[in-house]
Amino acid sequence: MADAATSTTRLSPLAGAADRFAAATRTSGGALHLAEVPFLAQVNVRLDPKGPAAEAVGLALGLQLPLEPGTVVTSDGCRALWLGPDEWLVLGPPGTDGALEARIRTAVGEEPAAVTDVSAQRTTVLVAGPRARDLLAHGCSLDLHPRAFGPGRCAQTTLARAQIVLVARDEPGTGFWVLVRSSFAGYLTDWLLDAAAEYVQDA
């Protein structure tokens, strides 16, 4: 019989891909940086953008929920992504999902809203480096030129036919976050690594 006191280790969907990401990063000669960003807190929020709940949530998070389509607002480690006229995805540091959800629920109070912790639904892949846009362009139909999709932009789109949320990070040189459903994470990793082979440099 298994020992009830035995602790379990939480594994991210791409825990087994760390060495492959590192090898692709190394062999690209600095052109790419690929890595999983596991366990980001992710809370989906739906509410009236003109109602009191929106202002209350903004105050609780220390940011204003973005109202312009496809934009991201960042403050104190949290990011609010515009997903629709009345829908946002709030991202927080790993391990803060419960606290983040509770903070938003408390701010909403009795106002009509839907607040859902979706942290376990997706994982995140970092795609950075000078050739990051070129790599993503192999499988994404968005115009990824910085003029069209620069820092602080986000979009629900597809990459290699997998549904993703793509975030152009607002810190200089930090590339993109690709938020992908856990069930598609392995497939998308294989695709990214295959596409990255183009940038392997000879030793």
Q: What is the DSSP string of 8-40?
A: -----TTGGGHHHHHHHHHHTTTS-EEEEETT-
Q: Please name the amino acid found at residue 41.
A: A
Confidence tier at 10 by pLDDT (50, 70, 90): confident
* CATH code of the domain covering residue 127: 3.30.1360.120
- Tens digit of each residue's pLDDT (9 = 90 or more) over 104-133: 999 999 999 999 999 999 999 999 999 999
Beta bridge mates, 87: 46, 84
In a shared domain, residues 149 and 186: yes
Comparing CA positions, the residue from 198, 188, 179 lying closest to residue 131 is 198
Instruction: Calculate the average pLDDT of the chain.
Output: 93
- Residue 106 CB: number of other CB atoms within 10 A? 12
Instruction: Determine which of 2-6, 57-61, 114-118, 170-174 has the lowest per-residue pLDDT on average.
Output: 2-6
Pair of tokens at residue 138: 């192999």
Domain boundary among 117, 139, 173: 117
Q: Which domain holds residue 145?
A: 16-38+121-196
In a shared domain, residues 144 and 110: no
- Tens digit of each residue's pLDDT (9 = 90 or more) over 67-108: 999 999 999 889 999 999 999 999 999 999 999 999 999 999
Q: Please name the amino acid found at residue 138.
A: H
Whether pLDDT at 7 is above 80: no
8 A C-beta contact, residue 131 and residue 199: yes
Confidence tier at 8 by pLDDT (50, 70, 90): low
- Residues 114, 121: Cα–Cα separation, whole Å: 17
In a shared domain, residues 79 and 178: no
pTM of the model: 0.92
Whether pLDDT at 138 is above 60: yes
- Residues 61, 162: Cα–Cα separation, whole Å: 30
Say which DSSP state 198 is in.
Answer: G
In a shared domain, residues 129 and 161: yes
- Residues 169, 1: Cα–Cα separation, whole Å: 48
Give the Cα-Cα-Cα angle 10, 15, 17 (nearest 5 degrees).
175
Assigned domain for 7 exists? no
